Amino acid sequence: MTTVWITLAGALGCLVRFAAEYAARLRRPTIRPWATVAANTLGCLIAGWVAYRFTASADAHLRAILLTGFCGGLTTFSSAFAIPAIIAREHHRAYAISLVVATPLLCAAAYAVGAALH
């Protein structure tokens, strides 16, 4: 049954990320990459909170649902590097570099904040 919940949570995470990117693209196509950064940062914030909040073995199923499912669906390592590569290829190298640098820094900071919230 945990597998079903992980699958549903992952689908929800994917939908949240898609909605953020879609909304950003509608407002201004140039900020769409920052929606990916925001989704990754939010996922790391949640992951930090979950990792430190649900530590007992009794919480293992909920932790797996939230970390593997929701956060796994919400965050995306492949897009975090594919999108800047595409942007760099379109001769916007400084913009691409800012995305590549900002993503791990914001994600690490968000994880630390999430861990502190437990």
CB distance 91 to 35 below 8 Å: no
**Structure tokens that stand for 33 in this block:** 């990459």
Region 12-27: what's the mean pLDDT? Answer: 93
Region 18-26: what's the mean pLDDT? Answer: 92
DSSP output for 86-107: HHHHTT-HHHHHHHHHHHHHHH
For residue 61, the model assigns a pLDDT of: 92
For residue 73, the model assigns a pLDDT of: 95
- The CB-side HSE value for 85 (13 A sphere, CA atoms) comes to 6
In angstroms, the CA 114 to CA 66 distance is: 13
**CA distances to 29, 58, 100 from 76, in Å:** 19, 28, 13
In angstroms, the CA 33 to CA 21 distance is: 8
CB distance 29 to 86 below 8 Å: no
Over 80: is that where the pLDDT of 20 sits? Answer: yes
pTM score of the predicted model: 0.85
pLDDT digits (tens, 9 = 90+) for 71-113: 999 998 888 888 899 899 999 999 999 999 999 999 999 999 9
pLDDT digits (tens, 9 = 90+) for 23-78: 998 998 888 899 999 999 999 999 999 988 888 777 889 999 999 999 999 998 88
